[in-house]
Structure 1
Amino acid sequence: MSEVADFLPGTPGSELLLVADHTSNRVPADIDLGIPESLMHQHMAVDIGVDPLAREVAARLGCPAILATVSRLVVDLHRERDELNAIPVISDGHPIPGNEALTPADRERRLERFWDPYHRLITETVERLRPRILFALHSFTPQLATRPQEKRPWEVGILYNQDVRAAHIAIDLLKAEGIVTGDNQPYSGQDLNATMDLHAETRGLPYLVVEVRQDLIGDAAGVRRWADRLTPILQRTADALA
């Protein structure tokens, strides 16, 4: 494990690569966000359930995986580098005082420390392994604290921007299994797709972004159940693109 990512080597020749930008709520000891510890266990700090799910899915697929090891509140690795929310000053209605106090030079140093090496690792891994598809795993809340009236009924969401190849295959497969599936829901990949835009869209590399509702993978039993359901669909999606 490095300061920015945990690399799981997988099985040589798998031709698949999994990335997960929000698997950790870790805040380095020299960074003070100025928020209560309780918030570090909520979705604003980490994609709940994704770390164990990503590890289980990667093991079953035999594929390499890159799992972030820093909280999205330190640096949101799933944002464009120059985007303000790459270092959020507010999240789901909660101000982040430690980030509000950063000078432009402080921001640049933090991006150089975390964002740059994380995305460099993905770039180097893609160039070295030449996968035929990238998978990304995230989780989403049943509802945002700032929008309690907006329920999110989907069990899984598939997000995409311009490249729809893998997404359309996976959506059909998920629905055929009776899984309540969001097509570019609970939000659109045309609005938020930074990691796949950078590492897949620019290369013409097929990709699949999978969002799982966090209450479904909040414990070990849920992780196993959804690894059982998702792994064969991910494999079938990759095979369909061969």
Structure 2
Amino acid sequence: MIFTLLGPLEVHFDGELDLPSATKIRWTLAQLLLRANQVVDRSAIIDELWGEQPPRSALTTAQTYIYQLRKRYRARFSGPFITTRAPGYVLHADPAEIDTFVFERLTEEGGAALVAGDAVRAADRLRAALALWRGPVLSDIPAGPILTPYITHLDEIRMRALRMRTLADAHLGRYRELIPELRFLTHAHPYDEWLHEQLIVALHAVGRRADALETYQRLQRTLDRELGIAPSQPLHQLHHDVLVGVERPRSAEHLLQSMP
């Protein structure tokens, strides 16, 4: 079976979608999948599904959801799918079958390759990691207090993977390919100085110095108007270097250290 959470929750068996229709059963499944092979406390399931004022029947209802998940998927597994283990339940699954685990593994491999100076492998691993995303994490489930931190964690790892893949592609001289993506990202994150820095560097590297300077000026205006601050010293120095036509060497180690 394949479980995907980087987008709407989906469960695939032999290429066919096999997912409960009831939202709260899917919601319960999502909690167990994000902590696959670990104990998920019953109280956490109840807090997630009903918040601070659960109904008196919450425990019985949660147990019913677990029963329905066991019944639905028990024939798909040679061993147990969900077992009871105090103070809650454990969903047993191969991490290679859950996209969140695969995503984190590929991101770690890509980061390690980048640190080791293997930009080709880094770009490959990180691109594969990012390709797993089909939209916002669990976009069809109304995340509560337990799921929300997991979703935030995955979103942050995705942004780091995107930054590292940008560095790997830049190290390989793929500046022209990076420019459209970096333009989109700087518009989506108008206060992110690091992304603007990468766009300025890419534009300068392909001979578009005027566009690079305009990118800096746009960021400068945005920061001043919205936050009352000026660009950081590294960006100010980069702006000066573009003005005078200087291209500074940018080692992978230095760039990694500069990442937010």
Query: TM-score, length-normalised on structure 1?
Result: 0.29
- Greater fraction helix: 2
Query: TM-score, length-normalised on structure 2?
Result: 0.27
- Structure with greater contact order relative to length (CA < 8 Å, sep ≥ 6): 1
When Rg is computed on C-alpha atoms for both structures, the one with the higher figure is: 2
